[in-house]
A and B are shown apart, each in its own frame.
Chain A
Amino acid sequence: MKFMIKGRKVMGGAGEGEALVSKEPLSFLGGVDPDTGIVVDKQHDLYGKRITGKVLVFPRGKGSTAGPYTIFAMSKRGNAPVAMINLHSEAIIAIGAVMAGIPLVHCLEENPLERIKTGDYVRVNADEGTLEVEVCSGEKGERE
Chain B
Amino acid sequence: MFLNDEEKKMLDGEYGRATQQAMSMLMALGEIYDVPRMVPISSAHLGGRSYTIGGAEAIEWLQDLLSGGAYCRVFTTYNPGSADLIQYEKMGIPEDLVENQKKMDECYRKMGVYPIGTCLAYMSGNVPLFGEHFSWGGSAGATFVNSVFGARGNREGSPSALAASLTGVTPEYGLHITENRYGKLLVRISGLKFEELSEGDWSALGYFIGRQAGDRTPVVVGLPERLDQETIRAFIAPMPTGGSVGMCHLVGITPEAATKEAAFGGLQPEEETLVGPKGIQRGYELLNTTWNDHIDLVALGCPHVTMAKLRKIAEYMEGKKVHPAVRLWVATSAQIKLIAERMGLVESLEKSGAVVATELCVAPGAPFHHVPGVKTVATDTARGAFFIPGACKVDVRFGDTQKCLEAALTGRWKD
Contact = CB atoms under 8 A, between A and B. Distances in A.
Interface of A: 8-12, 34, 65-66, 68-70, 72-73, 76, 88-92, 94-95, 97-99, 104, 106
B58 A99 contact: no
Contact of B28 (A66, A70, A94): A94
A66 B48 contact: yes
A68 B32 contact: no
Contacts of A10: 28, 31-32
16 contacts: A9-B31, A10-B28, A12-B24, A65-B158, A72-B60, A73-B60, A76-B60, A89-B28, A95-B25, A95-B28, A95-B29, A95-B157, A98-B24, A98-B25, A99-B159, A106-B32
Contacts of A68: 157, 159
Contacts of A73: 56-57, 60
A72 to B, nearest CB: 5
Given A68-B157, A99-B25, A91 B32 contact: yes
Question: Is chain B's binding surface mostly helix, strand, loop or mixed?
Answer: helix
Nearest to A106: B32
Question: For A9, A66, A70, A92, which residue has the most chain B Cβ atoms within 10 angstroms?
Answer: A66
A91 B31 contact: no
A91 B160 contact: yes
A88 B33 CA distance: 10
Contacts of A72: 57, 60-61
Contacts of A65: 48, 157-158
Nearest to A86: B32
Contacts of A66: 48, 53-54, 158
Nearest to B65: A99
Contacts of A95: 25, 28-29, 157, 159-160
